[in-house]
Structure 1
Amino acid sequence: MEIDRTKIGLVYGSDTGATEEITHAIVQKCEFWEIDVQAVSKIDTSYFEQYDFIILGLSTWYDGDLQSDWEDFFEDFKTVDFTNKIIAIFGLGDQFGYDDYFIDGVGMLAEFVLKNGGRIIGHWPSEDYDFSASKASVDQDTFYGLALDEDNESHASEERINRWTKQLHT
């Protein structure tokens, strides 16, 4: 089956606006794609049927909690069939304040994407981060997706987004 990588769905959740800002920054860097951006609070599971390529964005709160809208949608998300779909995930977290849970939300979503037949692209190196543990770790050197720390390293976000979106495009 041929995957359509020109028309993309992007679903995000944001409580404070930081993830929404990052979402818009990612969309600007992906001007070569047609991207349908939706807040997770505004969709149902049928949204995922429309796209072969989907980007998911969220923040991790406190001790490894999903962002509130993702938390509300999570039971439904667990039922989505991701067979023949390409998924990329980006997450925001605080690597110093919550170093045992850094971007755990990415790993929580990745678990069900993989369990339900999806393929994850956009893995990201973890070497430039200072954290103790993360559910988002593929292995000790790699996250399932882009890791951003707007609390402590907002100065690095633009360059990381540039590198990640180029990686997604190739």
Structure 2
Amino acid sequence: MKKIGLFYATKAEKTSWVAEKIQQEFGEDKIEVVPIEQAWENDFAAYDCFIVGASTWFDGELPTYWDELLPELRTMDLNGKKVAVFGLGDQIRYPENFADGIGLLAEVFEGDGATLVGFTSSEGYTFERSKALRGDHWCGLVIDLDNQSEQAKKKIKDWCEQVKKEFK
């Protein structure tokens, strides 16, 4: 299996919960955690594949820890690398920018030449708009722990099985 880096904010409680489940599904010895708060360009260069995650803040923004890294991320050459994006959102309180953070991360990594994998169906969600939407699919795994927490573990498990195949 290719070398996989799992990039997320280790201090963000909900994002960390999802990331820990992803790590368990892949197998802790098959994936390396890289705290985004400490990540640099050379951290991304060390991996063949990335799993990157973030929640969506405020009016559809990326959390500060990703925002601060974006200028550096936008200069990377990620041709030949694969990236799977996961994130969180609240479709009831923020339906007009639900899970936008996932779409924003996907745009940056695709702009750097990475191949996006891990698309999932948007069926079963209620929202108005999202930058994470590509046709009728999300450009990654969308988890709403505020309103659909009972579905989270199954969605994570199914997504991880899909991404494992797409990373090969």
* Correspondence for 1:72: 68
Give the match's secondary structure for 1:66.
coil
Q: Percent identity?
A: 36
Q: Does 1:143 align with 2:143?
A: no
Check the 8 A contact 1:95/1:131 in 2, yes or no: yes
2:40 to 27, 44, 55: 44
* Correspondence for 1:156: 151
* Correspondence for 2:160: 165
Structure 1: 5+ residue stretches without partners: none
Q: What CA deviation, in whole Å up to 9, does each residue of 1:88-108 have, x standing for no partner?
A: 000100111111111111111
Check the 8 A contact 1:14/1:69 in 2, yes or no: no
Displaced runs of 4+ in structure 1, greater than 2 A?
13-16
Tell me how far apart the structure 1 counterparts of residues 115 and 29 of structure 2 sit (CA, whole Å). 19
Q: Does 1:24 align with 2:29?
A: no
Letter aligned with residue 159 of structure 1: K
Give the match's secondary structure for 2:56.
strand
Give the match's secondary structure for 1:96.
coil
Tell me how far apart the structure 2 counterparts of residues 12 and 84 of structure 1 sit (CA, whole Å). 22
Letter aligned with residue 105 of structure 2: L
Give the match's secondary structure for 1:23.
helix
Check the 8 A contact 2:2/2:48 in 1, yes or no: no
* Correspondence for 1:106: 102
TM-score (norm 1): 0.92
Give the match's secondary structure for 1:100.
helix
1:90 to 86, 89, 102: 86
Compared with structure 1, are the counterparts of its residues 168 and 114 closer, same or farther at alpha carbon in structure 2 (3 Å cutoff)?
same
Letter aligned with residue 154 of structure 1: S
Q: Does 1:115 align with 2:118?
A: no
TM-score (norm 2): 0.93
Check the 8 A contact 1:13/1:59 in 2, yes or no: no
* Correspondence for 1:125: 121
Letter aligned with residue 87 of structure 2: G
RMSD: 1.4
Tell me how far apart the structure 1 counterparts of residues 19 and 111 of structure 2 sit (CA, whole Å). 25
Tell me how far apart the structure 1 counterparts of residues 83 and 2 of structure 2 sit (CA, whole Å). 13
Check the 8 A contact 1:14/1:58 in 2, yes or no: no
Tell me how far apart the structure 1 counterparts of residues 146 and 35 of structure 2 sit (CA, whole Å). 22
